[in-house]
Structure 1
């Protein structure tokens, strides 16, 4: 008779509350478009098509854009789960987030906008909007996203769920 084998409990991935991929691979299609454009330019000149130049444009533009898209997908992607906030390659545990600051309004710049941006980039990436966060140990940082209002809402809901209610006297 065989004895039952103890199997480790399956780990369940936490629910993803918010996700942005960083960049789309569709940008790489500019390489074939550049090759076709060069072929059409050659054709309109009346000399026929010499495939070296359109091929070179196709390869160079596609290759360069593929590198850019891959880098953007690594460094400007955002993922929020019930346990962590990932900005690029930097991971911040939700337990470390104490407060989400209100959205900036008015002429005066809030102090949190001078805080460091999460992720390994030097600031909030272009096309994204910062969200002020108060972290443990009296630290301030900026989360960021294209759909910043949606991320702010998810963060606020998540932080409110994590904060225990104050004891009543």
Structure 2
């Protein structure tokens, strides 16, 4: 007997990479080299302090980014940061913004707990049930748009062209 199956993941972004934390050891090595090139030898307090402070600060930033700017789309839900909506609530994907006029969906609230679309991400207009509009977002927005569009079109046939 097997337990309930996890829904298929259609799109996923982590939010940030832990590789950024390697800047801490790089800062420590840089400080040691600066001390050494100055002819005073290496006093280990300053390089170790730089290593700990830079690594610690960046670890906090990466952890926050992995919580608040991660994206996961499954057949059942869309998670943007810590906000989770059921895919059943998504009834339409708006076309990409083009031209000089800003589409109305770009003024809609961004999904997730942040006040807007996170930096480095691009918004995707989505129409939700109860006549609500919102912005999904991702770095690889074309891939998320394609996955969302396929998911919505499987449930709801596309609107006829007018």
Unaligned runs of 5+ in 2: none
TM-score (norm 2): 0.96
Residue 162 of structure 1, CA deviation = 1.2
SS of the aligned residue for 2:135 comes to strand
The 4+ residue runs of structure 1 with deviation greater than 3 A are none
Partner of 1:60 in structure 2?
53
Structure 2 residue 140 is the aligned partner of structure 1 residue 159: no
Q: How many residue pairs align between the two structures?
A: 159
Instruction: String of CA shifts for 1:90-112, please: whole Å, max 9, x gaps.
Output: 00100000100000000000000
CA 1:55–1:165: 2 relative to 1, 3 Å: closer
> Can you list the C-alpha shifts for 1:38-63, whole angstroms capped at 9, x where unaligned?
00000000000000000000000000
**For 2:84, which of 91, 97, 100 is the aligned residue?**
91
* Alignment correspondent of 1:11: 4
CA RMSD, Structure 1 to Structure 2 (Å): 1.3
User: TM (normalized to structure 1)?
Assistant: 0.92
- 1:152 Cα deviation from its structure 2 partner: 0.1
Aligned ranges for residues 53-132 of structure 1 at < 5 Å? Answer: 53-132=46-125
Larger gyration radius, structure 1 or structure 2: 1
Aligned with 1:102: secondary structure? coil
CA distance in 1, matches of 2:82, 2:99: 33
